[in-house]
């Protein structure tokens, strides 16, 4: 009998009494662990495939020890440039011993507690006061237009008095142009 199980983000094909090296797990040596993300089981030709996992099946394993893997060398070089760089590391692993493939332990569901929360009269009074104060604040602010296309998604507020100032400035510019034209004719 074998199973395909997900342990520490990777999928492994496991059998009973198999030693397995997985990425470092947060467990002490000698701890027993149960992995319930079983994707597939095969029991002497009887194949069961999960969608995505098989409910009620788990792989039980024991943590044997924590260790480091072989050194991995990373060497970079660019030809004719004089560039060489070497680096390396040793990966942390956990050695597991698969004790069996079987039914998962069912967790007892905790009863849900319903708590009744009564609203205090003071909080309702505060909410009513906030609702009354909100319209006063909104009326005090001048009307402003917003445009988001020109600023790339951020809001830019332009007040109405600025537009009026531009209209007033336009006749002054026209008068200045007339003066320039009369000076050129002379």
Q: Collapse the DSSP code of 95 into the 3-class scheme (helix H, G, I; strand E, B; otherwise coil) and give the result.
A: strand
The per-residue pLDDT for 103 is: 79
Residue 61 lies in a domain: yes
Bridge-partner residues for 50, per DSSP? none
Kindly state the average pLDDT of the residues 38-66: 93
Residue range of the domain that includes 43:
2-103
Domain-located, residue 78: yes
Question: In this predicted model, what pLDDT tens digit does every residue of 84-124 receive, in sequence order?
Answer: 999 999 999 999 999 999 877 665 555 555 555 555 556 66
Pairing status of strand 156-159 against strand 57-78: unpaired
Phi first, then psi: give them for residue 24, nearest 5 degrees: -55, 125
138 part of a folded domain: no
Quick check: is 44 in a domain?
yes
153-176: average pLDDT: 61
Per the domain annotation, does 11 fall within a domain?
A: yes
Overall number of domains in the chain:
1
Residue 27 lies in a domain: yes
CA 147 to chain centre: 32
Give the Cα separation of 129 and 118 in Å (integer).
Answer: 20
């Amino acid at each position: 009998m074998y199973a395909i199980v997900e342990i520490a983000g990777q999928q492994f094909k496991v059998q009973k009494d198999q030693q397995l090296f997985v990425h470092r797990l947060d467990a002490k040596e000698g701890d027993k662990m149960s992995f319930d993300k079983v994707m597939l089981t095969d029991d002497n030709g009887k194949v069961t495939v999960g969608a995505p996992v098989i409910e009620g099946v788990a792989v039980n394993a024991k943590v044997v020890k924590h260790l480091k893997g072989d050194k991995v060398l990373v060497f970079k070089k660019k030809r004719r440039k004089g560039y060489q760089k070497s680096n390396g590391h040793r990966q942390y692993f956990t050695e597991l011993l698969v004790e069996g493939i079987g039914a998962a332990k069912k967790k007892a569901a905790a009863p849900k507690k319903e708590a009744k929360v009564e609203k205090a009269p003071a909080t309702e009074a505060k909410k009513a006061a906030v609702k009354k104060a909100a319209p006063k604040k909104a009326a005090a602010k001048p009307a402003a237009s917003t445009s988001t296309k020109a600023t790339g998604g951020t809001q830019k507020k332009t007040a109405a008095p600025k537009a009026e100032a531009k209209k007033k400035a336009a006749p002054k510019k026209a008068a200045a142009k007339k003066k320039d034209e009369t000076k050129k004719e002379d």
